[in-house]
């Protein structure tokens, strides 16, 4: 009769907890740095068009003016920790988008984590609040601001913040 070996203590391997990209200030800083270090932009002012979208799964989407051909816009996406190749954007003339350009150097991607943390703390007071999955920056009339929303089972809030992400306001919908 075969003897069954004694079972060894098996310690389950814990899966690393996945970090919500919106809270990852180091990851956000790295994404911004990577964009500025792309050969096309190195040493040049990056002008983005209208808005930038940040998602909890690590994606960022924005449109950037081509520094070598200013009448062109290109769409850039950040996924899996790196920026993809640009995709051309069809525009209706340079004047149509030129007034909606904003210097990337005026924006700090780490503001997203400040806003996310503020929203998470606020959401603890909202019954059934869902985790924030999307924060975006929107350029408006010569200035810009951050936008997001928090939804609960009984109420929802529109969230706005200044360009630094330090002054966050919640307005019930």
What's the chain's average pLDDT? 90
- Whether 84 contacts 117, CB under 8 Å: no
| Within a domain: 66 | yes
| Within a domain: 2 | no
Q: For 60-105, what is each residue's pLDDT tens digit?
A: 999 999 999 998 999 999 999 999 999 999 987 666 788 889 999 9
| Within a domain: 117 | yes
Q: For 29-60, what is each residue's pLDDT tens digit?
A: 999 999 999 999 999 999 999 999 999 999 99
∠33-37-42 over CA atoms, to 5°?
Answer: 130
Burial 105-138 (b: 16+ CB within 10 A, else e): eebbbbbbbbbbbbbbebbeebeebeebeebbbe
Residue 11 in this model has a pLDDT that exceeds 80: no
Please state, in angstroms and rounded to a whole number, the distance separating the CA atoms of residues 107 and 168. Answer: 16
| Within a domain: 90 | yes
Domain that holds residue 110: 21-172
| Within a domain: 31 | yes
Domain count, the chain: 1
Q: Which residues lie below 8 Å from residue 110, measured CB to CB, with a gap of 6+?
A: 25, 28, 29, 32, 165
Two tokens at 28?
Answer: 């956000």
| Within a domain: 123 | yes
Is the pLDDT higher at 72 or at 143?
72
Any idea which residue has 């966050």 for tokens?
Answer: 168
- The percent of residues above 90 in pLDDT, for the chain, comes to 77
Closest residue by Cα to residue 55 from 109, 123, 1, 11 = 109
Residue 2 in this model has a pLDDT that exceeds 60: no
- The percent of residues above 70 in pLDDT, for the chain, comes to 86
Residue 165 in this model has a pLDDT that exceeds 60: yes
Band (14; pLDDT cuts 50, 70, 90): low
Give residue 91's pLDDT. Answer: 85
| Within a domain: 61 | yes
Give residue 99's pLDDT. Answer: 81
| Within a domain: 73 | yes
């Amino acid at each position: 009769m075969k003897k069954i070996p004694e079972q060894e203590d098996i310690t389950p391997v814990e899966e690393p907890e996945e970090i919500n990209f919106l809270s990852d200030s180091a990851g956000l800083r790295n994404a911004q740095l990577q964009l500025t270090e792309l050969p096309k932009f190195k040493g040049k002012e990056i002008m983005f068009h209208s808005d930038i979208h940040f998602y909890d799964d690590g994606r960022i989407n924005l449109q950037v003016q081509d520094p070598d051909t200013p009448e062109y816009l290109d769409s850039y996406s950040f996924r899996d920790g790196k920026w993809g190749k640009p995709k051309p954007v069809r525009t209706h003339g340079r004047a149509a988008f030129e007034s909606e350009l904003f210097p990337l150097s005026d924006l700090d991607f780490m503001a997203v984590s400040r806003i996310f943390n503020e929203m998470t703390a606020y959401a603890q007071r909202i019954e059934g609040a869902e985790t924030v999955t999307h924060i975006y920056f929107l350029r408006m009339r010569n200035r810009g601001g951050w936008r997001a929303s928090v939804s609960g089972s009984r109420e929802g809030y529109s969230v706005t913040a200044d360009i630094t992400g330090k002054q966050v306001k919640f307005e019930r919908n």
